[in-house]
Amino acid sequence: MILTDDEKAMRDGADGPAVAAAMDLLIRYGEALGAEKLCDTRNVAGTSTQPSPVKAKLVAEGGWNKAFAVLNLDCDDAVEIPDMRVPTCQLQQGFGPDSLGVVPYPKEFVELQSDAEAFYGRRGVNILATCTPYQVGNLPVRGEHCAWMESSAVVYANSVLGARTNCEGGTSTGAASLTGKIPCWGNHLPENRFGTHLVEVDAGVRDFMDWGMLGYFAGGLVQDERPVVTGAFPRPDLVELKHFGAAAASSGGVELYHLPGITPEAPTVEAAFRGRAPSAVHYGLRERRAVYDTLNDQGRSTDVDFVLLGCPHASIDQIRAAARALDGKRLHSGTQLWIMAPRALKAVADRSGYTAVIEAAGGRLLADSCPAMSRVAPPGTRVFATDSAKQAHYLPAILGIEAWFGSLEDCVDAAVTGRWRGDLR
């Protein structure tokens, strides 16, 4: 790799051993990827505070310095971790102290995480604790080079905002936070940001649920390439774009998509493909039905123990919609409802009265984490229902439970009746 003088100085220890370890990692990483150079970044979204048994062991041996060195820098030494060189935020993590007695999450993990937040917060990590950092203040601009983890955040940053990031890991983001550098490859390069597949929507995309199903279809079709979606659908809003991307990143590995005339790098179909559009794959009522059936093929029992909303983390409009659907209702005695949201937006929901309505119905508005991240659901859960194609895809494998996928209205009905009665309309 070609290094600048500043990068060579960091590699050689001018800024201390932690930065030297970080630069060594980035050089090895970049060379393995075939990157010719590093690019500058001032926006890192990674994970350092979330607890685990391995992390607890490392902290017991050498404190948070060693935990970060081993897990975020691939360095075996307990080097002193300095302040972050560039703006860095923590993504979703474990459940916080307000979950005690509500979520079956180990108390020792809650305490370990609180200790981590204090350590990393003093070093400049902003504890946003959400998979949607763009909803609570981390909003990169078009063309900005970022180093982000979390598949649904990455696809939103690339596609909707026009920022540039690959789907990074804990070590590469840890190294980027101390150096302000990341290998310049993949989505950082303009030639890798054009479309590869054309999806022509003939019918069947009307609302939030439909955008999740269309994303699931597109991801399954293109895998880790770049779909361009055109056709008969109303202009999507933030929530619909969020769910389209999250679903596409779950059924496939999509990190970038284009909606001509909507997403910033595709004013036209021709621009999205650099003038060479391939033959279209059609999405209509038949394909919509097939996706719905696929997302519901892991449900057998119609007795629902658990309803999960807010994946990716709910926007304030989604929280308001859930509160409106629950207003005046009461959950079934054998069913729990969790709505996952960024803590900053939970505070807005508290002040706006939405949380009170949700809790009066028996539901919970929870922050910082989700069942897929923390690997916990209400005790005894066998069957869950969700409006998230992403969670319907992942959670059965993670927790060994059955899944139903449907609309917000279907999920609220299941929470109130304890039965799944949803179907495609």
- DSSP letters for 259-323: -TTTSTT-SSHHHHTTT---PEEEE-HHHHHHHHHHHTTT----B--EEEE-SS---HHHHHHHH
Q: Say if CB 27 and CB 1 are below 8 A apart.
A: yes
The secondary structure element, H or E, covering residue 9 is helix 5-11
Tokens for 21? Answer: 């370890």
Euclidean distance between CA atoms 399 and 396, whole angstroms: 6
Euclidean distance between CA atoms 380 and 175, whole angstroms: 40
Euclidean distance between CA atoms 130 and 360, whole angstroms: 25
User: Between β-strands 44-46 and 306-309, what pairing exists: parallel, antiparallel or unpaired?
Assistant: unpaired
Residue 184's nearest CA partner among 394, 421, 319, 4 is 4
Euclidean distance between CA atoms 92 and 371, whole angstroms: 11
* Beta carbons within 8 Å of 257's beta carbon, 6+ residues apart: 155, 159, 218, 226, 227, 228, 229, 244, 245, 248, 263
Sign of the torsion angle spanned by Cα atoms 21, 42, 9, 123: negative
Helices within 142-237 (DSSP H only) = 151-156, 170-179, 208-222
pLDDT in tens, the chain (425 residues): 999 999 999 999 999 999 999 999 999 999 999 999 999 999 999 999 999 999 999 999 999 999 999 999 999 988 999 999 999 999 999 999 999 999 999 999 999 999 999 999 999 999 999 999 999 999 999 999 999 999 999 999 999 999 999 999 999 999 999 999 999 999 999 999 999 999 999 999 999 999 999 999 999 999 999 999 999 899 999 999 999 999 999 999 999 999 999 999 999 999 999 988 899 999 999 999 999 999 999 889 999 999 999 999 999 999 999 999 999 999 999 999 999 999 999 999 999 999 999 999 999 999 999 999 999 999 999 999 999 999 999 999 999 999 999 999 999 999 999 999 999 98
Q: Say if CB 177 and CB 86 are below 8 A apart.
A: yes
pLDDT score for 86: 98
DSSP character for 140?
Answer: P
Which residue has 């540039």 as its token pair? Answer: 164
Cα 132–370–414 angle (5° rounding)? 110
DSSP character for 342?
Answer: -
Tokens for 203? Answer: 């019918």
pTM for the full predicted model: 0.97
Cα 339–343–349 angle (5° rounding)? 65
